Structure 1
Amino acid sequence: MYIDRSRAARVRKALSCAALAVFLVAGCGSGTDRSDADETSITEAASHADQKGLSITVPGTLAASVAELQAGVRGRLGLAIMPVGGDQVVSFGDWTTGPAWSTMKVPLTIAALRRSPGNASYAVSAAITASDNAAADTLWQSLGTNQEAAQAVQSVLREGGDTKTTVPATRARSEHSAFGQAEWSLAEQVRFASRLPCLPQSATVINLMEQVQSAQRWGLGAFSGAEFKGGWGPDASGAYLVRQFGLISTPSGQIAIAFAAQPDSGAFSDGMTMLDKLSTVISQHLDELSGGRCPA
């Protein structure tokens, strides 16, 4: 019998990368009942998360399924999950950070609406539902100088709990927006998403995130009622990064999700397919995830 040893090695590596995630996912939120022993195990695992060699991934869990998917695709992928109102980010995969691309249009639109509540409804809607770049540029310009615009968007990120991401004022690549080239990690993005429903004047943007046009309803778009925004674009060599973030609902509340794919082929379509597969994996393990709500 032929054994694909390289694939087996990838599975082992991916399972190692997913270490302790199953415990932390189960520990997110406040909607599930657990014994004191369970809580102790979760706490001990979290407190020793930086110890090398700790591997407690359990077969059949989300952590194991993501690891198996990662081992079977040609490319890199990453996933971060956090309950709304929670404080613990759970991460999977080997992709962690990169350009925000159009996902940064969410805090941009919030900043623009706050600056000018009567902002042109077309620009606001098109920037989110159609990811229209001209509309987003209009919103950026409405915030003042490039420096003022960058600071306004960054302030929204800070309010949403992202303490690290810096929004550039100038274009690193002349053909792309300044805000789209901001380095936005999945961990900081999902932290922002987990507080998005709790931010003042965010309701309009969140409602639009549920109305993303059909051509862009891949990935999280497979979840009924999902509120999400995608972003995608090529690096200097033309290879695409494809990413999304948003909110999905469960009986115990909402879950914030941020994920990304960078296929070896560099093709946008392959990135979409990877996120579709990752969404399917998430849907198969929703019972492991506890949602949350904004603090009263």
Structure 2
Amino acid sequence: MSIEQRVGAGSGTRRRLLAVALAAVSAAALAGCTIPTRAESSEKVETITEIVVVPPEPTETPGAPGNDVGPLAGFDALSNTLGGAVGIALVPVGGGQSLVAGEWHSGAAWSTIKVPLSIAALHETDNTQLAAVERAVTTSDNESAEELWRDLGDPATAAAKVESVLEASGDASTAVESRTLRPEFSSFGQTQWSLAVQAQFAATLPCRSDAAEVFELMGSISPDQQWGLGVIPAARFKGGWGPDTDGGYLVRQFGIINSGTGQLAVAIAAKPDSGTFADGTAMLNDIGRWVGERAQALPIGGTCQPN
């Protein structure tokens, strides 16, 4: 998997107080995580109708900012040490409100969109694309994701099919991007996906029969991408990263971890003031450790509801 290009410096104003020393990223690793669109084809939209879990309409509940109460108490203090804009959203598996903290809330999905894309592809082809799905999820392979997108039809048709996957999890607000906004990147990677809504989507994955293969693959992410939620034992997750127009990194992830009362969906993101990928992943590592240390004490885990 290639590392997505540098992203813009973002909106964070705080300076990093914790110095993080990381190995230099190789030049070959600095290619984009998302891919340009190839030839288009036309195909009738077949929407996904199976809904195992339908959570409430996504809403954001502040995570007790500025005090020591609630599951996200202390996150603001952590974010003040990280040297950039960060955000987090938590939702219990089985459905619930998004508990959010931090100043970063929404932006390009980058390769996190490969999860609903892969689910749509498997629904479309009855598992004949499982090998491409495995590469797209576990190593974030761009050519495989491009293949999955192309096989869904022309861009508008493909976007509608991926949106149907999101809608089956209760997300009626995220519009999958079908236009080529930046020629060097795929259209779907530029989809605007908020942390609160993304965590709502993640909270349904363990409960959806049509997502079983993809959710299993999220537990076998390539070792070079085991940052952020990857520092938490038994986490299932997918990351995405890519360049903003001013050249600095956005690095984000979402997934499922175990809590003391069940399973918990987590979505996190970082835009370092330095703009470097190394600082972005280091910030997510700090957040991942912070969440992992508190996971068993968190009272907001959940389980899948009976059909």
The answer for the alignment partner of 1:109 in structure 2 is 118
Q: How far off its partner does 1:62 sit?
A: 4.8
% identical aligned pairs = 44
Quote the offset at 1:87 in angstroms. Answer: 1.5
- Structure 2 residue ranges without an equivalent (≥5): 1-12, 15-60
The answer on 1:193 being equivalent to 2:209 is no
- Distance in 2, Cα, partners of 1:265 & 1:227: 28
- Contact map agreement 2:268 2:284 (CA 8 A) in 1: yes
Partner residue of 2:67 out of 53, 57, 81: 57
Residue in 1 that maps onto 2:221: 212
Question: Conserved in 2, the CA contact under 8 Å of 1:62 and 1:282?
Answer: no
Hey, which of these two has a bigger chunk of helix by percent?
1
Equivalent in 271, 288, 292 of residue 283 of structure 1: 292
Query: SS in structure 1 opposite 2:288?
Result: helix
In the other structure, the counterpart of 2:101 is 92
The amino acid of 1:252's aligned partner reads T
Partner of 2:37: none
CA distance in 2, matches of 1:208, 1:134: 18
Within the alignment, does 1:252 sit opposite 2:268 as a pair? no
Looking at structure 2, the residues matched to 120 and 193 of structure 1 have their Cα atoms a distance apart, in angstroms, of 22
Q: CA RMSD in A?
A: 2.0
TM score, norm. by length of structure 2: 0.76
Q: Which residue of 2 aligns with 1:72?
A: 81
1:118-129 equivalences under 5 Å are 118-129=127-138
Deviation at 1:55, TM superposition (A): 6.3
Q: Distance in 2 between matches of 1:165 and 1:142?
A: 21
- 2:40 is matched with none
Match of 1:292 among 274, 277, 302: 302
- Name the amino acid aligned to 2:288: S
With the length of structure 1 as denominator, give the TM-score of the two structures: 0.79
- Point out where structure 1 has 5 or more consecutive residues left out of the alignment: 1-5, 8-48
Asked if the contact 2:122–2:130 (Cα under 8 Å) also holds between the matched residues in 1, the reply is no
| Alignment deviations for residues 217-239 of structure 1 (CA, whole Å, 9 cap, x no partner) | 00111111111000000111111
* Paired position in structure 2 for 1:161: 170
Matched, 1:263 2:272: yes
Counterparts in 2 of 1:149 and 1:72: CA distance versus 1, 3 Å: same
2:94 touches 2:303 (CA, 8 Å); kept in 1?
Answer: yes
Q: Find the residue that maps to 2:274 and give its secondary structure.
A: coil
What code does the residue aligned with 2:177 have?
P
Instruction: Give the whole-Å Cα distance in 1 for the aligned partners of 2:133 and 2:271.
Output: 29
| 3-state SS in 2 of match to 1:257 | strand
Q: Is the 8 A contact 2:68 2:74 kept in 1?
A: no
